[in-house]
Structure 1
Amino acid sequence: MTRSARDPARFAALADAYGGDPARWPAADRTAAWSVMGEPWAAAILHDAGRLDDWLDCAAPVTASASLAARILADAPDRHTRLRGRPRWTWGLGFGATGLAGLCAGAAAMAAVLAPATTPDLHPRADPQTIFGDVAPFGDD
């Protein structure tokens, strides 16, 4: 359940996130916020958020100098640096190893699933007599 902007805690969270001007708030919360604008607690929250907005608006944006930007780009590694010096056939070893591991895991899983169906009877009957008669091999009388 989501809380409405009429709730003081939700109202304060919206003001902290979007600022002191409810026109910048999400539309769903904006209509609920306008309904509580006359409340003293809402006015105090908007006043504090508005002061922070004013302070942030006065701050000058910081930009990097051209020399700093050039140094960062010069020090950035080339995206192909890791692959240089290796033969092309080694690039796919990771994929091959992953496929082999998947094959082994699948074989182990199938062996575990099918093992109970294929295990021999470990406790043979002492009496070879069944409802069909004697199952002993012929000539063992």
Structure 2
Amino acid sequence: MTPERFRALTESYGADPARWPEGERAAGQAMAAASGHLGALAEAAALDRLLAAHQVAAPDAALQRRIAASAPAPRAPWWWSGLGLAGVGLAGTLAGALLVSAVLATVPAPAAVDLPYASTGFGGMAHNGSEE
């Protein structure tokens, strides 16, 4: 591990080796113990303490009332959005059906082909060579 990487670890993850990437944890701890990089570790520890001590005060009741009062009032019942979605889906289905009908009206019908295996039990029987 290089000194630059050790400083990057402490600046990014703090002084606690448990927060360092697992693959670099042992090398970082060895570098901290063996060399004079304790300054970077001390700086990271001071920043860790500062961040841990910071607390945000809970909002007071007046702020909560102002936020609640500024919220927009609901304009329509919740089921209107579902009806809108269903309407858009129905309109898309109808538009697609009309488009397919218009395209198929311009396509010529295929020529009739007499295939012996294409007949059914309800139509004419193809000749199969029997006398019945």
More helix per residue: 2
TM-score, length-normalised on structure 1?
0.47
